[in-house]
Structure 1
Amino acid sequence: MNPSTSSAHCVGQSPTDDLMDDWLFLSTESAGPQHMEVSREDQEGEDRGKLKSKLVSAWNSVKYGWSLKQKSKFSKSSPVIMHGQSYELKDQGERERFRRSFASLLWLTYRRGFPSLAGSSLTTDSGWGCVLRTGQMLLAQGLLLHLMPPGWTWSVSHHAVKDDMDLLVIRTTDSAERGLNLKEGPSKRGRKLSLDSCLNRTMEASHRRVVSWFADHPTAPFGIHKLVELGKSSGKKAGDWYGPSIVAHILRKAVAASADLPNLVVYVAQDCTIYLEDVRSLCERPPPQSWKSVIILVPVRLGGQELNPSYITCVKKLLTLQCCIGIIGGKPKHSLFFIGFQDDHLLYLDPHYCQPTVDITKESFPLESFHCKYPRKMSFSRMDPSCTIGFYAKGQKDFESLCTVVYEALSTSAGTYPMFIFAEGKSQEEERSKTPTNNITYIQRKSERKRVDTSNSLDEFVLL
């Protein structure tokens, strides 16, 4: 991705600041003390490997991660749709609600300085891990819906430093909002303070726990190390580019392997088809227990080299649904996490900013780098057709409602083949085919099935 043509990022630093920081990071680590017990030859080889990794990281950051900071302009005459919620920006209260909701989303980006990935000397995913990061954000949104109360927002004060919509800037502070009414008597204020403080502590503990699951450490269930490990069965390794379809299957495996989420499963659609019996078999539990919650991931390719315009209305309809947790996808080396839209522009979170790794073992590790302050937009015409669309249903009734509203949204693509479909029964695919290992995929058109070589495409997508 050429820095002059790349999209703006969710940070306030200038390209010069980032460059200086990366090189300071490089020079300070490479100048670290040597251990006398290690042979000089081994130490020199290890240092060369680390130096090469850092140089590659710095070059990838220049090539893929730095761009000129641009303003995203939001019109006050039309609403912003984000994760199924509508925000009227002409109203100051609605603008603040949008700011709070946006700043509460988990933003997972390139990181540097984490423990080496298995089988490599890489200590950063800069330049190659963007789809893994967008996949993390998609899963994180599902986890927030799964674990946090409806309407939850990050419990910090958000102060707008500029009140027009040319650039939405949010400054966060460490003070938690108490919601106190100054006219209340001391006893009422004290009781409310105690209740709010207890609630804030509980929610903040859950918030931190979710963030820690995505830490850049081998023990984190959804961290970069775990995802790379699970990608080996798909023929991927650290430093490779991962497509949205493969990432969907990696996320399914990661959730299945996690002991932290016994009541959540991930289902990945096959051949653009959600097989209802497969979903039910995943979610059903013996009475009197209820269904497990489910995240449904649908890998699709909506056109050839460009997004088919006939699908834009359908994409908008899906993003207006509260059950839709977002869309990941993009060109090689430049994947984005789409979370909403305004008019003909998509709203997104961008992982292409390399930040230092955060030590989540500290009791109060900083959270600011996991939350983005600056909303960004891009035209639908620039959206790459290679996507994975995510949905979340908390229970059986929610799943049935999801099927209804998503089916209605898909019907807006009349005149073209649906983006994906629902079907009764089970998939006939073998378990081994659930994780793609090559560039051959199948396209299902009613009863006809064809083989298609997609080696010159981004990944193993079903082409519509």
Structure 2
Amino acid sequence: MNPSVSSSRCEGLSPADNHMDDWHMVSSESALPQVLEVSRDEQEAEDRGKLRSKLVSAWNSVKYGWTLKQKSKFNRSSPVIMLGKSYELKDQGERECFRHSFVSLLWLTYRRGFPPLAGGSLTTDSGWGCVLRTGQMLLAHGLLLHLMPPGWTWSVSHHAVKDDMDLESRPTDSGQSSQEWPGKRVRKLSLGSLLVRPMEATHRRTVSWFADRPTAPFGIHRLVALGKSSGKKAGDWYGPSIVAHILQKAVAASADLPNLVVYVAQDCTIYLEDVKRLCEQPPPQPWKSVIVLVPVRLGGQELNPAYITCVKKLLTLQCCIGIIGGKPKHSLFFIGFQDDNLLYLDPHYCQPTVDIAEENFPLESFHCKYPRKMAVSRMDPSCTIGFYAKGQKDFESLCTVVTEALSTSAETYPMFIFAEGHGQEEERSNTPTNNIAYIQRTSERRRVDTSNSMDEFVLL
């Protein structure tokens, strides 16, 4: 799918780029195991720590505008492209379809009040866990594609979500009235309830995998534990490249997804033999499904303009499951665009932890009602791009359409490439821990020490 996109005025990101430091750092040595009884001073210190955590969480929510419920304006005369699908907002039916598709995406944000993370006393990831949360969202979308039938949307959204988009020059709808629509939708759901129930059970189970508790396979506790091998701990900032490798390890260790693997590209290169090695199974079993993650850095301090068209092209592909990235303290999950603005889900909203052990635990806080957008030129160059292929033929198609989309950046260096053969043996199974990035120039590759950098990327 290659929808045409007209130009329009750009709308910037509501939070300021040069905001105050909101990192929440707590010492991992705050607990002393040799003390059997908690003194009054220690109890007061713990209470102060909890109060500080709540204040930092509240400040982050205020700073990023969520308490104001700001809404982005959408131009009804231009299509919205979201994760490979195009929606004409001037048409009521397509506008409803876009809204339901958007609300069905899993929204993973900062949380507070979860069990303390290992090695310290942190009970919130507010101020430092945004890249982990955007990584969770990217993986969650891949899992929904893997587990749900094509075109699935969250059934609750059909009658729980109102028209929250602010459309420029919105006309009076000529079709069904808003009073008639919910009733008919509810009747439709009741007729199909027998089909909806199994999908809702899978949806709820998928949400539970990202719960904020130590046993969840893709929860914040598990991701932080897997980050230790890369020299990261709770309270640190996790770059998009590190998070890609953490997700790869988390899926590999999960017994719930035996037919899904994650491949992380090396040196901006997807090595086809390595993907084949991961996905092939003994006959007659089919290929495993694969999520391909490509960490890149598309410029220095700002996004190279040559890659703007390429980024938008990739988001028009149905195999693309989104882009995670952003500077420290502000990572976003990009899912589409309208004109010259990117659509995104923002993790910078601190919510109370949900107890998934509760029967029929509430799902509303895992779904966002308000689409947001920002000028694509303001996208931070540090990012990881995700793709999903159900089987071997889907992966071959992925290679074809992605290569075509990447050709738009041929005048500079390609964002990344596909290559026959294997990557370097010592990098295939483990996350790099020596902070070495590789800059590829045609057939020449040289090593660059990035030990003083926060990112582990290939610079283009």
Is the 8 Å Cα contact of residues 439 and 459 (structure 2) preserved in structure 1? yes
Is the 8 Å Cα contact of residues 76 and 169 (structure 2) preserved in structure 1? no
Q: Does 1:229 align with 2:225?
A: yes
From the superposition, tell whether residues 271 and 431 of structure 1 become closer, same or farther in structure 2 (CA, over 3 Å): closer
Is the 8 Å Cα contact of residues 442 and 450 (structure 1) preserved in structure 2? yes
Is the 8 Å Cα contact of residues 64 and 352 (structure 1) preserved in structure 2? yes
Offset at residue 62 of structure 1 (A): 1.4
Match of 2:282 among 279, 286, 295: 286
Offset at residue 153 of structure 1 (A): 0.3
Match of 1:197 among 189, 193, 196: 193
Match of 1:58 among 55, 78, 94: 55
DSSP-derived class of the 2:108 partner: coil
From the superposition, tell whether residues 122 and 46 of structure 1 become closer, same or farther in structure 2 (CA, over 3 Å): farther
Hey, what's the Cα distance between the residues in 2 that align with 1:441 and 1:450? Answer: 9
Q: Which residue of 2 aligns with 1:446?
A: 442
Q: Which residue of 2 aligns with 1:333?
A: 329
From the superposition, tell whether residues 270 and 370 of structure 1 become closer, same or farther in structure 2 (CA, over 3 Å): same
Q: Does 1:160 align with 2:158?
A: no
DSSP-derived class of the 1:434 partner: coil
Match of 2:250 among 244, 251, 254: 254
Offset at residue 450 of structure 1 (A): 1.4
Hey, what's the Cα distance between the residues in 1 that align with 2:169 and 2:268? Answer: 38
Hey, what's the Cα distance between the residues in 2 that align with 1:175 and 1:259? Answer: 41
For each residue in 1:226-285, what CA deviation from the matched residue of structure 2 results, as whole angstroms up to 9, or x when unmatched? 000000000000000000000000000000000000000000000000000000000000
Q: Amino acid of the residue matched to residue 77 of structure 2? A: S
From the superposition, tell whether residues 120 and 86 of structure 1 become closer, same or farther in structure 2 (CA, over 3 Å): same
Is the 8 Å Cα contact of residues 73 and 167 (structure 1) preserved in structure 2? no
Q: Does 1:208 align with 2:215?
A: no
Query: What is the aligned length?
Result: 417
Q: Which residue of 1 aligns with 2:371?
A: 375
For each residue in 1:111-155, what CA deviation from the matched residue of structure 2 results, as whole angstroms up to 9, or x when unmatched? 000000000100000000000000000000000000000000000
Hey, what's the Cα distance between the residues in 2 that align with 1:410 and 1:292? Answer: 25
Q: Which residue of 2 aligns with 1:128?
A: 128
Hey, what's the Cα distance between the residues in 2 that align with 1:148 and 1:234? Answer: 33
Hey, what's the Cα distance between the residues in 1 that align with 2:185 and 2:121? Answer: 44
Is the 8 Å Cα contact of residues 348 and 375 (structure 1) preserved in structure 2? yes
DSSP-derived class of the 1:300 partner: strand
Q: Equivalences for 1:15-414 in 2 at 5 Å?
A: 39-41=37-39, 44-59=41-56, 61-63=58-60, 66-68=63-65, 69=68, 70-156=70-156, 157-161=159-163, 164-165=166-167, 177-180=185-188, 193=190, 196-414=192-410
From the superposition, tell whether residues 207 and 162 of structure 1 become closer, same or farther in structure 2 (CA, over 3 Å): closer
Q: Amino acid of the residue matched to residue 72 of structure 2? A: S
Q: Which residue of 1 aligns with 2:16?
A: 5
Offset at residue 286 of structure 1 (A): 0.7
Is the 8 Å Cα contact of residues 252 and 265 (structure 1) preserved in structure 2? yes
From the superposition, tell whether residues 57 and 332 of structure 1 become closer, same or farther in structure 2 (CA, over 3 Å): farther
For each residue in 1:400-451, what CA deviation from the matched residue of structure 2 results, as whole angstroms up to 9, or x when unmatched? 0000000000011121000000000000240477312243212222331212
Hey, what's the Cα distance between the residues in 1 that align with 2:269 and 2:221? Answer: 30
Offset at residue 165 of structure 1 (A): 1.5
Hey, what's the Cα distance between the residues in 1 that align with 2:283 and 2:428? Answer: 31
For each residue in 1:336-385, what CA deviation from the matched residue of structure 2 results, as whole angstroms up to 9, or x when unmatched? 00000001000000000000000001110000000000000000111000
Deviates more, 1:385-394 or 1:66-75: 66-75
For each residue in 1:261-319, what CA deviation from the matched residue of structure 2 results, as whole angstroms up to 9, or x when unmatched? 00000000000000000000000001111000000000000000000000001001100
From the superposition, tell whether residues 175 and 432 of structure 1 become closer, same or farther in structure 2 (CA, over 3 Å): farther
From the superposition, tell whether residues 399 and 365 of structure 1 become closer, same or farther in structure 2 (CA, over 3 Å): same
Moved beyond 6 Å, runs of 4+: none
Hey, what's the Cα distance between the residues in 2 that align with 1:47 and 1:38? Answer: 17
Is the 8 Å Cα contact of residues 335 and 344 (structure 2) preserved in structure 1? yes
Percent sequence identity over aligned pairs: 76
Could you tell me which runs of 5 or more consecutive residues in structure 2 were left unpaired when the two chains were aligned. Answer: 1-12, 19-34, 171-177
Hey, what's the Cα distance between the residues in 2 that align with 1:264 and 1:415? Answer: 35
Hey, what's the Cα distance between the residues in 2 that align with 1:343 and 1:446? Answer: 33
Is the 8 Å Cα contact of residues 439 and 454 (structure 1) preserved in structure 2? yes
Hey, what's the Cα distance between the residues in 2 that align with 1:442 and 1:162? Answer: 45
Deviates more, 1:257-266 or 1:199-208: 199-208
DSSP-derived class of the 2:447 partner: strand
Is the 8 Å Cα contact of residues 61 and 350 (structure 2) preserved in structure 1? no
DSSP-derived class of the 2:343 partner: strand
DSSP-derived class of the 1:160 partner: coil
TM-score, normalised by the number of residues in structure 2: 0.86
Offset at residue 3 of structure 1 (A): 9.1
What RMSD in Å do the two structures reach over aligned CA positions?
2.5
Hey, what's the Cα distance between the residues in 1 that align with 2:227 and 2:142? Answer: 21
